[in-house]
Structure 1
Amino acid sequence: MRNKARILGVAGGLMLTVSAAAWARITPEEAAQLGLTGTPLTPVGAERAGNADGSIPEWTGGIQQPPANFTPGGPWVDPFPDDKPLFTITAQNYAQYQDKLTPGQVAMFKQYPDSFRMHVYPTRRSASFPDWVYEATRKQALNAELCPGWENGAVCLQNHVDGGGYPFPIPKNAFEVGWNHYLAYQGQAIEGMMNAPLIDSLGNRVDVIMEQWQSWMWWVPKAERPASDWFHRSGGPLLCDAFQVKQPPRQSGLIGGGCNFAQEFDFQSYLYVPGQRRVRKAPEIGFQDSPSFGSDGQRTVSSRWQWWFAGKESRHDLKLNGKKELFVPYNAYALADPGKRPADLFGKKHVNQDLIRYELHRVWEVEATLKSGQRHLYKRIVAHIDEDTWHGMGHEAYDARDRLWRMGEGYVLNLYDSRSHLIWGDQLVDLVNGRYTTFFGWYGNLGMGQPKVGLLKDSNIDAEIFTPQGMRKFGTR
């Protein structure tokens, strides 16, 4: 397990079959491979070196300082304003780049040859994190383990320590990649107005506008969490998430929220229904293939962040296919320009491709195949996870006949003032019915100000909104 090829995790069937010993915490010798300089791996486990032809450069620390024209509290301006596309991939020439394209991208070229295109820019390994994230990752990696039963799909962490960190920077199986992906650092707290537009097959758009309060409690030390037992149970909270619908009018005032936990991964979620003035348990929010809230049934909970476990036990067998070099969305600063409003962002068939920057990056590929005897809308899901940030770059979902049904992309940028990585927005295109949806995001494109991202102690979040006892006081009829 300690030989260099396995530590680096290069493509090619990385530990697809693992022994019981392979899910233990990493050793001190393995941890020595992680570091800011002079080590084969970055502090969060990516390969430091570039690729053979130099089209992927060496990681040298990522963005270290905000651009000179950035104003704290203002929009995140593009740190690479002088970059120009190296080339553009279209329906006419995609075949020559097909080894660097996802199946979903290929399908989009075939289905929308007149509008789908990919502008490929120089690769910028812009990922960077606060020093305390690096330190927490090393500490966490020496302690955290998958709970017994993970081989059969149990989603649970044990022996983890306080204060966050990527638990498996040197992953040995798909579940460990999944945990890193789910816990990808987005700051400790996010608050702001967001949009989740729905676009029908004719190109008509309905904006679903919500106010969001979110805390990645995994990254919050125990001493800084609220005192309530709710935030100290079941191995500690991972994500606490809440929202209040502003429009469309028929859903205005609805509040949803809750948390999930290291040893109770299914979301403990609740809804405040304004017409009833009651808080109700909403177990379906954490259920495997239940419809994602506000998506008009066009996406499942498991498609959030381009793929996640979405339940306490996976209904799929997970396989790690190693790494691939793919053209993926990256450094999505053009999409985050507050001058771009919904009409600029959302085309009739997909997000405006002229605003998306693609780069060549190494990504982990996780393949999930439905277990015999289990039920799920998707027979198979293939997810592409960035090695530098652990965020989801995209995924493909296949139906019961193993036909490509939906393809997704996630648009991530480095918030260089806090060195966190926010999913600014995403899209999920239904290749069968011609509709597409987006999920909670597009924060600064409504003319309602920028989101606030940072540490929980510096936020304005009242954590009671994440609890069933505290949710009702936030409701208005």
Structure 2
Amino acid sequence: MNKFLQNSCILALSLLAGQVMAAVSADQAAQLGTTLTPLGAQKEANADGSIPAWTGGLPKDAGAVAANGFLANPFAGEKPLLVITAANAAEYRDKLTDGQMAMFKRYPDSYRIPVYPSHRTATVPAAIQEAARKSALQVEEVNGGDGLANFAQSGYYAFPIPKNGVEVLWNHVTRYLGGNYSRSYIQVTPQVNGAYTPVRFLEEQVYPEQVADFPADKKGSILYLVKQRVTAPARLAGTAVLAHETLNQITEPRLAWIYNAGQRRVRRAPQVAYDGPGTASDGLRTADNLDMFNGAPDRYDWKLVGKKELYIPYNSYALESPALKYDDIIKAGHINPEHTRYELHRVWEVVATLKSGSRHIYSKRHMYLDEDTWQIAEVDHYDGRGQLWRVAEGHALYNYQQQTSYLAVEALYDLMSSRYLALGMRNQEPSTTTFGVEAKYFDFTPAALRTDGLR
């Protein structure tokens, strides 16, 4: 081989390496389910046992399940080990986020963190565990983590043994949510005095492998299809949004459409991404704030700091109880801490910094993800001046019947306006999330969106 050809090959290989990062080795993947949990968490307890060892999660019969899907609280009899307030927060500073400390400062008389015994409740079905193992062996980053390669064959948990920050994020984005589901839920944006008007959403989310007539040529590029419709109050009712979430939003940006009830027209909606305004959010969240973070990661540099132990919202069964009214939860300044539950857990710590030349209202996002579920638990959002602006808390629980984790409430606190947004509440809905819904591809097309808006 002549020197010119040799150098050309070396250059080509280096460029290819910059586009696609290799998956882990077979020896590394073999740790899943052995020294690590099937999803890549540490199995062992922490040094003093305050975080227990993972022993398989809650069994499917851990509690009674009502006909409408609401779960009994397996830990209803437990009392807090301690309650952190503004007066004693400094004692626990090493296990609190900057955002939590800011909330104590902003609401010293009312915000508190009740800490309960830690329980590692979560697992996923055996088929999803096997999907995570396949992902570890074959899924690769594309363009530095902007997209995924070889993901369609596995479908969940892109990088259960992550090597960097963007891979940790992708595990949140690709985590198992129970398969096809539908739900109604409430979003509120209380005024400073706590007054609010509930906005009701109907939401359906489905996955290519669970849609019988899903086009074969799209299966390798679509992560899921989601449709939301506002049904109340009357002034907002009829607005509907449809999105096809792609696996590489750089080469194929998210496809989104919106039906405007006033105009009775369906339009493409590129604003349903990044820092576009969240639906009916009164300017208190961005499109990518939903689910703590969603969408393309390309506008940020993602730094993996490592793991740490934090008090995070966990096993929030009480907060989803149908015995509660929305008025019981929504209070001035923040949700009612009488119904929250925090536990000590290991989290992955990731810092996202806005890239030079990129645009977003958040210049930095400091994230903490639960190691057992890859669900984002806490996010501190910073404005363009570098000041802490919004604090997000995801109040998670584990559906032991369906073997999936989700959020009872997502709360996003605006420290500057003293207002907040809370979404996902289902306490007064006729039923909680319904899993296993059948879906047709046509129902998730723009042609069907106008009909949904008119219902």
TM-score (structure 1 length as normaliser): 0.88
* Consecutive unaligned residues in structure 2, runs of 5 or more: 1-16
Q: For residues 271-327 of structure 1, what are the alpha-carbon distances to aligned partners after superposition, in whole Å with 9 as ceiling and x for unaligned?
A: 1222332211111102x211111211111122222234x33x622211011111000
User: C-alpha separation between the residues in 1 aligned to 2:356 and 2:434?
Assistant: 44
Counterpart pick for 1:225 among 195, 204, 211 = 211
Matched residue SS, 1:142: helix
Q: Which 5+ residue runs of structure 1 have no aligned equivalent?
A: 1-18
Aligned to 1:6: none
User: Which residue number corresponds to residue 425 of structure 2?
Assistant: 442
SS at match of 2:290: helix
Contact 2:211–2:439 (CA under 8 A) maintained in structure 1: no
Answering whether residue 433 of structure 2 is matched by residue 451 of structure 1, we say yes
1:115-130 counterparts in 2 under 5 A? 115-130=110-125
1:247 to 232, 237, 260: 232
State the one-letter code of the partner of 1:380: K
Aligned pair 1:277/2:264, yes or no?
Answer: yes
The reply on whether 1:357 has 2:341 as its aligned counterpart is: yes
What pairs with 1:105-254 in structure 2 (closer than 5 Å)?
Answer: 105-147=100-142, 149-150=143-144, 155-215=146-206, 217=207, 221=209, 224-229=210-215, 232-233=217-218, 235-254=220-239
- The Cα offsets for residues 383-441 of structure 1, whole Å up to 9 and x where unpaired, read as 111100000101000112211101010011111111011222210000001110023x1
The code of the aligned residue for 1:236 comes to S
SS in 2 for 1:165: coil
What is the match of residue 266 of structure 1?
253
Residues of 1 paired with 2:169 and 2:411: CA distance? Answer: 20
Number of residue equivalences: 437
Aligned match for 1:296, one of 282, 288, 298: 282
Cα contact 1:143–1:161 (8 A) shared by 2? no
2:364 maps to 1:380: yes
In structure 1, C-alpha distance between the alignment counterparts of 2:66 and 2:383, rounded to whole Å: 46
Deviations 1:337-370 (A, max 9, x none): 0111110111111011111110000111110112
Look up the SS of the partner of 1:95 in the other structure.
helix
From 398, 401, 416, the equivalent of 2:385 is 401
2:73 corresponds to which of 55, 71, 78: 78
Q: Name the residue aligned to 2:319.
A: 335
Identity of aligned residues (%): 39
Q: 1:232 to 1:197 in 2, by over 3 A?
A: farther
C-alpha distance in structure 1 between counterparts of 2:449 and 2:302, whole Å: 36
**1:4 matched residue in structure 2:** none
- The 1:266–1:344 alpha-carbon spacing in structure 2 relative to 1, beyond 3 Å, is farther
For residue 416 of structure 2, the aligned residue among 429, 432, 440 is 432
Q: Separation in 2 of the partners of 1:162 and 1:399? A: 39
1:227 maps to a residue whose letter is D
d(CA) in 1 for partners of 2:63, 2:194: 39
Secondary structure (helix, strand or coil) at the match of 2:218 reads coil
Q: Secondary structure at the match of 2:253?
A: strand
Asked whether the equivalents of residues 381 and 391 of structure 2 are also in contact (C-alpha less than 8 Å), the reply is yes
Give the Cα–Cα distance (whole angstroms) in 1 for the partners of residues 138 and 421 of structure 2: 39
TM-score calculated relative to the size of structure 2:
0.92
Q: Distance in 2 between matches of 1:160 and 1:268?
A: 19
> How far did 1:252 drift?
0.8
Say if 2:211 and 2:438, in contact at 8 Å, map to a contact too: no
- Equivalent position SS for 1:405: strand
Which of 13, 24, 47 is the equivalent residue of 1:26? 24
Structure 1 residue 146, shift from structure 2 partner: 0.7
Q: Is residue 64–residue 128 contact of structure 1 (8 Å, CA) maintained in 2? A: no
Separation of aligned partners in 1, 2:63 and 2:218:
44
Distance 1:360 1:22, change over 3 A: farther
Aligned to 1:473: 451
- C-alpha change, 1:306 and 1:228, in structure 2 (3 Å) is closer
For 1:261, the aligned partner's letter is T
